[in-house]
Amino acid sequence: MTTFYAEQSANRRNSLLLALVVILFLAVFGFVIGFSIGYGSGHEVAFGVGALVIAVVIGSLSGLFSYYGGDKLVLASSHAKEVTADQAPQLYNVVNEMALAAGVPMPRVYVIDDPSPNAFATGRDPQHSSIAVTTGLLQKMNREELQGVLGHEMSHIRNYDIRFTLFVGVMIGSIALLAGFFLRYTFWFGGGRRGNDNDNNGGGGLAIILLVVGLVMAVVSYFFGALVQMAVSRQREYLADASSVELTRNPHGLESALAKLASDRESLHSVNGATQHLYIVNPMKKLGGGSALFSTHPPIVDRINRLRQLTGEQPMDPASVQYLSGME
């Protein structure tokens, strides 16, 4: 029988591997761009290393801004309003329970006025964290289900998922920045420079190869970045599900909540492409399907079956699988 400790270990390894892949791709892409730009100067390697350093510096500056102000932007764009214990006593009580179970400070609590049930956690670390839930979640979940959802979100805080996804997001942003720069450079300056290189150095063949490789990597990087970011997000959702069971000692609450979330037809109005991966279920999935590769969350059926494995229960029956799969 699979334990939630095994789930946590496996997902941490997979997420770290995905992050390393992003870093490797960034390094290779940056070097190819710099080498291509410096081709024919006699200092191609220096150009390559320099381009990589510049990309990392820019990515680091972007990361610092996101690190200290990203959560405020997310909450503001989601129209989340902070509430007190008097305004939402049950919500505050359950959040406090999960914070104690996780051994983290009590996060700030926000409510989004929206009938679609959903929730997310944000912040750079447990000492600077927030949990936001919709009014629809409070209205449609019983206490046991609410504990499962908030245990999931508290796990994101305890496991430093927000910081981890921020790191990956910064790396992806750096790749996109490099790709955009290289495409513009090639468009405006590439043709003339390659012509001079061909005439003076007779290196037309290698120049063309470098140009093609750089262009291909620039185009592929956009798709690669999205795939890696979404794959990381899916792995962290599995980990948070397993960690929620550790905190609540009750997989049935989260299992029931996930089934309700998948079945609900309300659309969340304040979500966008930059924040969809933060929620416990992707609210944009309700607007249309799409390939599993481009999904920020694992299928609900898979998540429920993994929860059932933790207690040795049988997987969902075919009728339930068909129903929930059709609702996502």
Judged against a pLDDT cut of 50, whether residue 41 lies above it is answered with yes
Of residues 251 and 173, which shows the higher confidence score? 251
pLDDT of amino acid 307 = 92
Residues 6+ apart with CB under 8 A from 139: 115, 117
Residues 6+ apart with CB under 8 A from 118: 133, 134, 136, 137, 261, 268, 279, 280, 281, 283
In the block, tokens 């079945």 appear at: 263
Are 211 and 190 in contact by the 8 Å Cβ rule? The answer is yes
Judged against a pLDDT cut of 50, whether residue 152 lies above it is answered with yes
Give the confidence band of 194 by pLDDT, cuts at 50, 70, 90.
very low
Q: What is the pLDDT of residues 269-313, one digit of tens each?
A: 888 766 788 899 988 765 554 445 557 788 999 999 999 988 888
Query: CA-to-CA distance for 91 and 84, rounded, in angstroms?
Result: 10
Query: CA-to-CA distance for 214 and 233, rounded, in angstroms?
Result: 28
Rg over CA atoms, the chain:
23
Are 168 and 226 in contact by the 8 Å Cβ rule? The answer is no
The CATH 3.30.2010.10 domain(s) of the chain lie at 74-161+246-327
Q: What is the pLDDT of residues 57-104, one digit of tens each?
A: 776 676 677 778 878 888 998 999 999 999 999 999 999 999 999 999
Region of 159 (left: φ > 0; alpha: ψ -120 to 50; beta: rest) is: alpha
Residue among 133, 130, 132, 93 at smallest CA distance from 117: 133
pLDDT of amino acid 207 = 56
Q: Give me the mean pLDDT over the 123-152 stretch.
A: 95
Pairing relationship of beta strands 128-134 and 80-82 according to DSSP bridges: unpaired
Token representation of residue 46: 């220096």
Of residues 174 and 193, which shows the higher confidence score? 174
CA dist 38 → 35, 140, 289 (Å): 5, 60, 44
Q: Which amino acid is at 144?
A: E
pLDDT of amino acid 265 = 86
Are 257 and 148 in contact by the 8 Å Cβ rule? The answer is yes
Catalytic positions are 153
Q: Give me the mean pLDDT over the 6-14 stretch.
A: 63
pLDDT of amino acid 127 = 92
Query: CA-to-CA distance for 23 and 11, rounded, in angstroms?
Result: 18
**Least confident interval from 167-176, 258-267, 273-282:** 167-176
Helix ranges restricted to H, the chain: 4-37, 44-77, 89-102, 135-140, 143-158, 161-185, 191-201, 204-248, 251-263, 300-310, 318-327
Multiple choice CATH, 74-161+246-327, 1.10.287.90, 3.30.70.20, 3.30.2010.10, 3.30.70.270: 3.30.2010.10
Token representation of residue 48: 């390559």
Token representation of residue 172: 């992806």
Of residues 232 and 280, which shows the higher confidence score? 280
